[in-house]
Amino acid sequence: MEKQAVLFHSLEGEKIYFKALRIEDVQEIHHYASDQKVSRFIGWNLMSTLEDTRQFIEIMIKRESEGTHLYSSIVEKITHEIIGTAIIFNFDKEANQAEIGYVLHKQHWDKGYGTEIVALISDFAFKSLKLHKLHAAVVHANIGSARILEKNSFELEGRLKDHYFIEDKYYDALLFGKITNLGT
C-alpha cells in the first residue's frame, strides 16, 4: 500500500493538488477541523485544540502506515494553502471496493473543489487501485456533499433511516455508489 499512498499524495487537478498529511501542517488542518460547521456531518469529532488536531493527524498517519486508509491533504494551487482532507478507507479486498470521504474548509465550499476532489479520488481508485466499486455515506442534510457525488456519477443506492445521531437529532444516511466503467 506504500506505493499507492505515494501516488495518492501526488494527485493533481486543475485547481488543487494532494500531498501527504504531516504533523507540521497541524495549524492549517486545525483551521477547518475545529470549525463546527465543517465537522458537523463528516464523522470526525470537533477538534477543540491544536493538540486534539495533532493527535488526530497522528492517528491518520498511523492508519495509513498500517495500510487501512489513504489520506491526503488537499492544497489549493493558487495559494498553496491546505483546504481539506481526502480519504479512501474501509477497503474490502474480496469485493474489491472501498469507501471515500472528503472534508473542505467552509471558505472553499461551492467553488468546484469538492467535485474535483471526488473526480481525482475516483480516477485514482479505479485506475491505480483497480477497484471495482466506490461508495460513500452522506448525512441527508449535507446537500452539498450529495451533489458532489452526483456530479461525479455516483448513484443513490439507498437510505438508512435515523442512522446518524448528531447534536441530539437523528439524520438519515444516504448511500451512494459508483462502479468502474473501465474495461467495459
Confidence of residue 59 (pLDDT cuts 50, 70, 90): very high
Check residue 41 and give its pLDDT: 83
pTM of the model: 0.93
Residue 149 lies in a domain: no
Confidence at residue 182, expressed as pLDDT on a 0 to 100 scale = 65
pLDDT tens per residue across span 69-107: 999 999 999 999 999 999 999 999 999 999 999 999 999
CA dihedral 41, 47, 48, 54 (to 10 degrees): -170
Mean pLDDT of 126-136: 97
The single-letter code of the amino acid at 19 is K
Residue 126 near residue 114 (C-beta atoms within 8 A): no
Report, in angstroms and rounded to the nearest whole number, the Rg of the chain calculated over CA atoms: 16
In a domain, 125, yes or no: yes
Residue 146 lies in a domain: no
Confirm whether 22 is domain-assigned. Answer: yes
Q: What is the pLDDT of residue 88?
A: 98
Q: How far apart are CA 152 and CA 132, in angstroms?
A: 16
The CA–CA distances, whole Å, from 115 to 14, 94, 109, 166 equal: 11, 28, 10, 25
pLDDT band, residue 183 (cuts 50/70/90): low
Q: How many domains does the chain have?
A: 1
Provide, rounded to the nearest whole percent, the portion of the chain with pLDDT above 70: 97
The residue ranking higher by pLDDT, 70 or 4, is 70
Arithmetic mean of pLDDT, 18-45: 90
- Residues 17, 47: Cα–Cα separation, whole Å: 24
What pLDDT was estimated at residue 1? 63
Q: Which domain holds residue 80?
A: 2-131
Tell me, what CATH number does 82's domain have?
3.40.630.30
Burial of 157: CB neighbours in 10 Å, binned 0-12, 13-18, 19+ = exposed
- Asked if residue 124 belongs to a domain, the reply is yes
